[in-house]
Amino acid sequence: MLIGAAPTSREFSQTRHHPLKIVALGDSLVYGFGDREGGGWVERLRRHWMLPDNSGHVLYNLGVRGNRVLQVEERLEHEFHHRGELRNRQPDIIILSVGVNDSARVQRPDGRYYTDFFQFKTILDNLLDKSKQLCPVVFVGMVPVDQAKMPFQDCLYYSHDDQYMYKEATRLACLKRQIPYLDVFEKWLSRGENWCTSRLCADGIHPNVRGYQAILQDVLNWESLNLLTS
């Protein structure tokens, strides 16, 4: 392992002998907006790990509604260094999930992107590079919106084409850095349009209870995360 670099998944799993401290940073998908029963997939995962027969891993939800990649990048290191719990202990894994807010078009369907695409890629590169220097990182991708429900809040237009462009940039940036990426967007679309829309809130953006349950199952079945946490 290179000096100053975070351990690889294999090195990490071979040296761990304690319940993990994990931080999840991102937007409303991390926050869990729309899930009145379970609080979102991160909260559901936290509760799952707290069950007596499970790992006891500690999971901090650091999702902020409306966050774009810039806001997550700006608060990354501060959030990370204040979640160690014990002296000289810092989180073991970072879960990232952000990007859908960046992909929105402002005021009209062909308006400017909320975050310019090339600026998005630059900030994303910084976010991923900084994260990897701290500890092992995984990335959970965005869900597809219900395009028929646009505009969101009367001013933001989301589309699958724009989402695809931003999520692909994210997937490729993660691939370049060997950061595991869970492609929720493609998983949901492969299950059919009706399946997708039935798992979104009336706003067409946020998952509902069934939506967050589906994300949780995909996360629990995700080999890359299981390798880090087992």
Among 54-58, 96-100, 133-137, the range scoring the smallest mean pLDDT is: 54-58
The single-letter code of the amino acid at 133 is: Q
pLDDT digit string (tens) for 196-223?
A: 999 999 999 999 999 999 999 999 999 9
Confidence of residue 86 (pLDDT cuts 50, 70, 90): low
> Residue 7 pLDDT > 60, yes or no?
no
Q: Report CA dihedral (15, 81, 60, 93) to the nearest 10 degrees.
A: -30
Q: Domain spans of the chain?
A: 21-224
Q: What is the mean pLDDT of residues 126-142?
A: 98
| Confidence grade of residue 42 (pLDDT, cut at 50, 70, 90) | very high
Residue 165: is its pLDDT beyond 70? yes
68/90: higher pLDDT: 68
Mean pLDDT, range 131-150, rounded to an integer? 97
CA triple 12-219-215, angle to 5 deg? 155
Q: For the chain, what's the residue count?
A: 230
pLDDT digits (tens, 9 = 90+) for 148-163: 999 999 999 999 999 9
> What residue ranges in the chain does DSSP mark as E strands?
21-26, 58-63, 93-97, 105-106, 137-140, 156-157, 181-182
pTM here is 0.91
* Architecture category of domain 21-224 in CATH: 3-Layer(aba) Sandwich (3.40)
Round to whole Å and give the CA distance between 25 and 44: 15
